[in-house]
Amino acid sequence: MSKFSKSLLHRFLNWKTKHLTHQQFLMLLSAIIGFIAGLGAVAIKNLTHFIQTLLEGEFIANYHDAFYFIFPVIGLALTMAIVHFVFRKNVGHGIPTTLHAISQKKGIMTRFQMYASLITAPITVGFGGSVGLEGPTVATGASLGSNISRMFLLNQASRTLLIGCAAAGAMSSIFKAPIAAIIFAIEVFSLDLTLSSLLPLLLASVSAILTSYFFFGSQLILPFELKDKFIISEVPYYVLLGILASLVSIYFTKVYFNVHKIFAKVNSPLLRLLSCGAGLGILIYFIPPLYGEGYSVINNLLQENYLEALGTNFFNAYLENFWVVIILLLGLVVFKIIASSLTFAAGGVGGIFAPVLFMGSALGHCYALVLNHLNILKNPISVSNFTLVGMAGLMAGVLHAPLTAIFLIAELTHGYELFIPLMITAAISFMITSQFQPHSVYTMELAARGELLTHNKDQMVLTLMNINRLIERNFISLHPEMTLGEVLKEGVVKSSRNIFPVVDENGTLLGIILLDDIRPIMFDQKLYDEVKVSEIMQRAPEIIDIRNDRMREIMRKFQDSNAWNLPVVKDEVYQGFISKSKLLTAYRKKLIEATV
């Protein structure tokens, strides 16, 4: 930043301090960030559509149908080249990367994240990668929110709120669903639902949707008007759909992470690209609807045009057979997540929001067709309604965001006629899935590392605390062969602490000695050469492993042991001590920071 820019910023900050309260400034920034997030969504969408238009142009029109399954591999190769040779940094997966920044980096995101996904995601999706644009759009907006808050010297709590505003703005712009966007930010980013947080989220969401209307007009990503009303007799079928959605949600998560684990073992990025790209190309060749985001497929299913949704494939001659159609629709449910996982594993940049909606729509559509075909109902059920509710069921299960699922579908349909079935299916799907998978796809890895922020304030504060900053190192180490006299001369006399770690020649912690342990004999000079450290040391009541123990576990160890100081090790090597008083002081300080 130039001297002129710094001077201008300094003058603005002085003016802001005199004329605006902190809350007023936050609301002003939230509206600006919503507008910028809306612009980011517009840019990502337009760039993606531009690439798709080029690939469908006259130049390759004659070859498109035969070879379009190769395009995703080309897009993945271009993405990998940009990441490795231009950015030279890992772009990461949109929302999980943002959540990690909030929990472990105080909401600080690097500047390159403001444009990294903006470039790489459209290439991945534009060339047919089987992922969505929502995650990268949220990450782009979140990085903008983070860097703007840093520029204006805002604290961590305000920075996190503005990241949530950016996420709400991105979702509002994409789906033109401002209420669902606010709920999405609250559910996924664990924001507090208070008036001071709700107003900035509202302003960001409104600002973003106005930006979207300005650039896209009234065009919707999922244009649909309800044709059929909810009938109370259909409740049991919505309950069953919720159960099916939970099973598919569990399948989604397991496949997603297992594919990642399998290809993470492949050390060569080029080999990973070729193997994943080949698998993706084969899937798209046999199942063309897996190409790209899949919103055209969803829209065809919503209009009950399942033949158009299935497109041209090897089974066209058999589509008059109802059960062939059902198998193909189930194929969309089964293979979409495999295609998406291969896209990610190959190095593609995208999100899972669109694949979730894709699979949910195919599941609900297939389920309704089967029920109607079996003639077990007095009156046929609405296929389009079950298609919509299926999307909500899978969102609730995979993303662990049932309220977002309910309000998003309700807003997309411009009414609340389906509110009851949406609540039933989403609630059942979420309840069952959460019993087997306590965390969503977004948060599972963070939760496994103990880095996940939740709405539990105590848990959130513990997660935000940094263990390394609490370690005290001004303790004098003793060795097991030292005599009592050496302990007094080298330890007690030189130390202001009343506890001494005992380590071997490699630094491995063997035990501890308390001043109280040697006080009865420390003045008996006859024992100075006879008594050794190995005879008087004791085991530590608990040991903190800096690699494996998270703050919640450390708190438990202090509570169970009743100790005031506990030793810290890293790979069994002594590092220092953590004191209970310093831990509690840091907890209180972090609680204030997180709630101001």
- For residue 348, how far is the Cα from the chain centroid? 16
Answering whether pTM is above 0.85, one says no
Query: Strands 565-570 and 573-579, how do they pair?
Result: antiparallel
Q: Please state the domain count of the chain.
A: 3
Look at residue 225 and tell me if it is in a domain: no
For residues 6 and 213, the model is more confident at: 213
| Band of residue 321 on the pLDDT scale cut at 50, 70, 90 | confident
Q: For a pLDDT cut of 70, what percent of the chain falls above it? A: 90
Kindly state whether residues 484 and 527 are assigned to the same domain: yes
Q: Cβ–Cβ contacts within 10 Å for residue 131, how many?
A: 29
Q: Which of 296-310, 390-404, 481-495, 551-565 is modeled with the greatest confidence?
A: 390-404
- Return phi, psi of residue 472, to 5°: -100, 135
Kindly state whether residues 316 and 293 are assigned to the same domain: yes
Kindly state whether residues 428 and 391 are assigned to the same domain: yes
- CB contact at 8 A, 125 and 131: yes
Kindly state whether residues 390 and 439 are assigned to the same domain: yes
The closest of 257, 91, 150, 188 to 452, measured between CA atoms, is: 188
User: What's the pLDDT at 460?
Assistant: 53
Domain stops at, among 397, 418, 450 = 450
Rounded CA Rg of the chain: 29
Kindly state whether residues 507 and 418 are assigned to the same domain: no
Please compute the mean of the pLDDT values over residues 566-578 and round it to a whole number. 89
For residues 448 and 308, the model is more confident at: 308
Kindly state whether residues 376 and 487 are assigned to the same domain: no
Please compute the mean of the pLDDT values over residues 376-392 and round it to a whole number. 89
Alpha helices in 223-352 (DSSP H): 235-264, 269-286, 295-302, 306-310, 322-345
CATH number at residue 143: 1.10.3080.10
**Does residue 371 carry a pLDDT above 60?**
yes
User: What's the pLDDT at 379?
Assistant: 83
d(CA 455, CA 461): 10
Q: Give me the count of residues in the chain.
A: 596
**Does residue 588 carry a pLDDT above 80?**
no
Kindly state whether residues 80 and 179 are assigned to the same domain: yes
Which residue type sits at 435? Q
Each residue of 71-125: pLDDT tens digit?
888 899 999 999 888 888 877 777 777 777 776 677 788 888 888 888 999 999 9
Look at residue 570 and tell me if it is in a domain: yes
Look at residue 404 and tell me if it is in a domain: yes
Which residue type sits at 2? S
- CB contact at 8 A, 141 and 97: no
| Band of residue 455 on the pLDDT scale cut at 50, 70, 90 | very low
What Å distances lie between residue 275 and 124, 263, 272, 279, 343, CA to CA? 16, 9, 5, 6, 11
Look at residue 563 and tell me if it is in a domain: yes
The two tokens of residue 474 are 């001004």
Kindly state whether residues 445 and 490 are assigned to the same domain: no
User: What's the pLDDT at 592?
Assistant: 59
User: What's the pLDDT at 252?
Assistant: 93
Kindly state whether residues 63 and 167 are assigned to the same domain: yes
d(CA 538, CA 310): 71
Look at residue 569 and tell me if it is in a domain: yes
User: What's the pLDDT at 5?
Assistant: 65
Name which of 50-59, 448-457, 570-579 the model is least confident about. 448-457
What Å distances lie between residue 58 and 54, 261, 288, CA to CA? 9, 41, 20
User: What's the pLDDT at 521?
Assistant: 83
Which residue range is the domain that position 403 belongs to? 232-450
Kindly state whether residues 34 and 123 are assigned to the same domain: yes
Domain stops at, among 402, 417, 450 = 450
CATH number at residue 515: 3.10.580.10
Look at residue 572 and tell me if it is in a domain: yes
Give 72: exposed, middle or buried? Use CB within 10 Å, 0-12, 13-18, 19+: buried
Alpha helices in 502-579 (DSSP H): 515-518, 533-536, 551-561
What Å distances lie between residue 526 and 483, 522, 523, CA to CA? 12, 10, 9
Kindly state whether residues 390 and 262 are assigned to the same domain: yes
**Does residue 61 carry a pLDDT above 60?**
no
The two tokens of residue 443 are 């948060």
Look at residue 126 and tell me if it is in a domain: yes
Look at residue 580 and tell me if it is in a domain: yes
- CB contact at 8 A, 434 and 246: no
d(CA 274, CA 77): 9
User: What's the pLDDT at 320?
Assistant: 82
Please give the DSSP secondary-structure letter assigned to residue 563.
Answer: -
For residues 191 and 180, the model is more confident at: 180
Each residue of 235-254: pLDDT tens digit?
999 999 999 999 999 999 99
**Does residue 66 carry a pLDDT above 60?**
no
Kindly state whether residues 199 and 241 are assigned to the same domain: no
Domain stops at, among 450, 483, 516 = 450
